[in-house]
Structure 1
């Protein structure tokens, strides 16, 4: 009897734990996230790239973003300043393709980024050309953003090469 209870308890615990692995928390108390509304005008962001390989494990950066929406295309002009002093610019052209779906392009994105909003979370995946020293490599990004009640947007992206995690990217946006 005691062994049966322990087995039942252990099975319940394992089932409870594994049923939440991979679950994405969605805040139903936050207004529905809309890229074209959130990024309209000026946005400031701060981030960190945690590199799993190489000498420089962490890279800090700031981003100044200007967004405009013409009713069909959201244009995001992102100006990066890295802790090394290096600067970069990315211009996203993002189209709303459905009620909750978007597609986007940028000069360093390979093909098209496709994403979907569910509640306060936006998820999209895409391939990007990433400069490493004097080389450029193709990486895959699994990019997720969560809008918070206070207007802060939290972004986490897993950067992969050959299916292995290469780096983590975390960004905090504020209006």
Structure 2
């Protein structure tokens, strides 16, 4: 009986450690950590104009599986329905295997300082919050990999480096677990 109790205690301890590890591995930084950082990241104004980006897609082990470049064109306008500024951001992707795609975002800043965005391949609405130099952005999308489509969540972090540069790190998650990552360097041209 003592052996059984001892085995149960060891099993319980290992199970609890596994739960703690799993929860902490799936968590992401808190936007409040960037409260007093500079330069402030005004998302609508940074992405207004011409931009270019270079990036990589990595699998869950960190192996680069694709490289790509993006040409972006942003335009701020007044939303008649909301009487707010909104950004239309067009993105043209070219991947190292020759694949090309286009995404058009419509991004609005809410009264509470958060952001919402819609795009042709994004499920429902993307939501984000900017504080200091950082933007945290979450959204779901159907991602096609080698002919199979997966519903995934993008846990997107953008960091404004200076007036012309932003670094973007996106964690791609399925069922709360990281299955891939995108790292992108974005440069404002005009």
Q: TM-score, normalised by structure 1?
A: 0.80
Give the distance between the partners of 1:81 and 1:151, measured in 2 at CA: 22
SS of 1:70's partner is: strand
Q: Which residue of 2 aligns with 1:160?
A: 173
> Residues 74 and 136 (structure 1 numbering): CA distance in 2 closer, same or farther, change over 3 Å?
same
Q: Which residue of 1 aligns with 2:5?
A: none
Q: Which residue of 1 aligns with 2:10?
A: none
Report the CA distance between 1:29 and its aligned residue. Answer: 5.5
Aligned residues of 2:135 and 2:158 also touching (Cα < 8 A) = yes
Q: Deviations for 1:96-120, whole angstroms, at most 9, x for unmatched residues?
A: 1125211001111101000010101
Q: Which residue of 2 aligns with 1:122?
A: 135
Give the distance between the partners of 1:66 and 1:23, measured in 2 at CA: 29
Report the CA distance between 1:145 and its aligned residue. Answer: 0.3
Quote the RMSD (CA, aligned, Å).
2.1
Q: 2:75 matched to 1:68?
A: yes
Higher relative contact order at CA 8 Å, sep ≥6: structure 1 or structure 2? 2
Q: Deviations for 1:71-102, whole angstroms, at most 9, x for unmatched residues?
A: 32211100000010110100011111125211
Q: Deviations for 1:26-57, whole angstroms, at most 9, x for unmatched residues?
A: 3845231111110111000001010137xx84
Q: TM-score, normalised by structure 2?
A: 0.74
Give the distance between the partners of 1:150 and 1:107, measured in 2 at CA: 29
Q: Which residue of 2 aligns with 1:37?
A: 45
Aligned residues of 2:136 and 2:158 also touching (Cα < 8 A) = yes
Identify the match of residue 57 of structure 2 among 24, 49, 52. Answer: 49
Q: Which residue of 2 aligns with 1:59?
A: 66
Give the distance between the partners of 2:144 and 2:29, measured in 1 at CA: 30
Runs of 4+ in 1 over 3 A off after TM superposition: 21-25
Question: What are the within-5 Å matches in structure 2 for residues 6-155 of structure 1?
Answer: 22=29, 26=34, 28=36, 30-52=38-60, 57-71=64-78, 72-149=85-162, 151-155=164-168
Give the distance between the partners of 2:37 and 2:129, measured in 1 at CA: 19
> Residues 32 and 57 (structure 1 numbering): CA distance in 2 closer, same or farther, change over 3 Å?
closer
